[in-house]
Every structure is written in C-alpha cells, then in structure tokens.
Amino acid sequence: MTKEIFQTIRVEGMTCSHCEANVTRTLLKLEGIEEVVADRNTSQVKIMGEKIDLSEIEQAITEIGYQFKGVV
C-alpha cells in the first residue's frame, strides 16, 4: 500500500470557477496526483496523491497563467 501525501499550495490569479477548474484539470494530469481542490477565495489549492513534485506543479501552474506562491 502506498502512502498518500497531502499538500496545500498558494496560487494567485484564480478569479472564477473556470480558473479553479483549469487549475484542477491541469494538476490532475500530473503523474501521482489523485485529487485537487482549488479555492479562488483563499487562493489555496489542496493536493492529494502518491507523488507530489512541487517543481512540476509550479511549472504547470505558471504555464497556464497563474502565480505559484509556494507551500501554505
């Protein structure tokens, strides 16, 4: 059985539900990530998975036009 990892990051630039969906959809494509909950009101994204590579996540977030502000 693999260990699940939980991580919360700060992402700035999400202004609507479409933004939340875009971030969620993008991060779910990354290997090892199983669940993503983006909240534009808090600028936080909760991530669950077996492997969470913050540099990969930062690159993906930046590529779609948002600002990765690190771990909460």
For 6-60, how does the pLDDT look when each residue is reduced to its tens digit (9 = 90+)?
A: 999 999 999 999 999 999 999 999 999 999 999 999 999 999 999 899 999 999 9
Asked if residue 21 lies in contact with residue 3, where contact means CB atoms within 8 angstroms, the answer is no
Domain limits of the chain?
5-71
pLDDT one-digit tens code per residue, 51-62: 899 999 999 999
The residues with which 49 forms a beta bridge, in sequence order, are 5, 33
In sequence order, which ranges of the chain are alpha helices (DSSP H)? Answer: 17-28, 54-63
φ and ψ of 60, to 5 deg: -65, -45
For residue 3, pLDDT over 90 is answered with no
Architecture field, domain 5-71? 2-Layer Sandwich (3.30)
Band (pLDDT 50/70/90 cuts) for residue 2 is low
For residue 1, pLDDT over 90 is answered with no
